[in-house]
């Protein structure tokens, strides 16, 4: 058995400024971009690099995926999928289960309530709500993604930007300042 890790990521904070934009076309706010920097620095410190990124094709999710991949200096392919835009959890789970076994680390960038519901479906722990730019990292002791239905995942960590609101560890602060 190998360890596979699924990162369920809710897109960063999106803008409601353009009243003519559809929900699908809403981009990120300045705060949303800043939160990607903070969370990306945390992931970088952990040495987290995805093998594959699956993202909703809504603009805010695409921007989140792109900025996060850039922050991590990852060369992972990013697949933008209309099926991840407010889909139900069964379809989301099927999409994850179809991924190639060669990918040990997969990022899924999507929307609530699906991201929170999927996290709760795949593990025994319970998360009431994954906030914007929140990440639930779930590990599985499996060889193939198709086996997530038979295996309960373990929560590796659950992070979100407000955890870093008042205190930013020195290592993250150094990474943030180095990149500005």
Q: Could you report how far apart the first and last alpha carbons of the chain are, in Å?
A: 41
Supply the CATH number for residue 55's domain. Answer: 3.40.50.1240
Q: Which of 128, 138, 131 is nearest to 108 (CA)?
A: 138
Q: Which of 177, 122, 168, 127 is nearest to 4 (CA)?
A: 122
In this predicted structure, the answer to whether residue 164 has a pLDDT above a threshold of 90 is no
From edge to edge, which strands make up the β-sheet containing 154-159?
A: 78-81, 52-56, 105-110, 2-10, 135-142, 154-159
Query: 82-130 pLDDT, tens per residue?
Result: 999 888 899 999 999 999 999 999 999 999 999 999 999 999 999 999 9
Tell me the whole-structure pTM to 2 decimals.
0.88
Strands 78-81 and 135-142: unpaired
| CA 176 to chain centroid | 20
Q: What is the mean pLDDT of residues 47-60?
A: 96
So what's the pLDDT on residue 150? 75
So what's the pLDDT on residue 141? 94
159: containing domain: 2-178
CA atoms of 136 and 170, how far apart (whole Å): 23
CA atoms of 12 and 35, how far apart (whole Å): 7
- The mean pLDDT of the chain is 89
Higher model confidence: residue 85 or residue 169? Answer: 85
Q: Tell me whether the omega of the peptide bond preceding residue 68 falls within 30 degrees of 0, making it cis.
A: no
DSSP line for 120-176: HHHBSS--S---TT-EEEEEEEESSGGGGGTS-BEEEEEE-GGGGSS---HHHHHHH
Q: How many domains does the chain have?
A: 1
């Amino acid at each position: 058995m190998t360890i596979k890790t699924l990162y369920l990521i809710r897109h960063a904070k999106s803008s409601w400024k353009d009243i003519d934009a559809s929900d699908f076309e809403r981009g990120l706010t300045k705060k949303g971009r800043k939160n990607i920097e903070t969370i990306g620095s945390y992931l970088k410190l952990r040495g987290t690099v995805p093998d594959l990124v699956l993202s909703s094709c809504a603009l805010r999710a695409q921007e989140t995926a792109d900025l996060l991949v850039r922050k991590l200096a990852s060369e992972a392919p990013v697949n933008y999928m209309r099926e991840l835009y407010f889909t139900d959890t069964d379809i989301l789970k099927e999409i994850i289960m179809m991924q190639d076994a060669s990918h040990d680390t997969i990022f899924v960038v999507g929307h609530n309530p699906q991201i929170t519901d999927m996290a709760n479906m795949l593990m025994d722990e319970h998360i009431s709500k994954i906030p914007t730019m929140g990440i639930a990292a779930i590990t599985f002791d499996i060889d193939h993604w198709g086996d997530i239905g038979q295996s309960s995942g373990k929560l590796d960590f659950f992070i979100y930007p407000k955890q870093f609101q008042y205190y930013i560890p020195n290592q993250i602060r150094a990474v943030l300042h180095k990149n500005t």
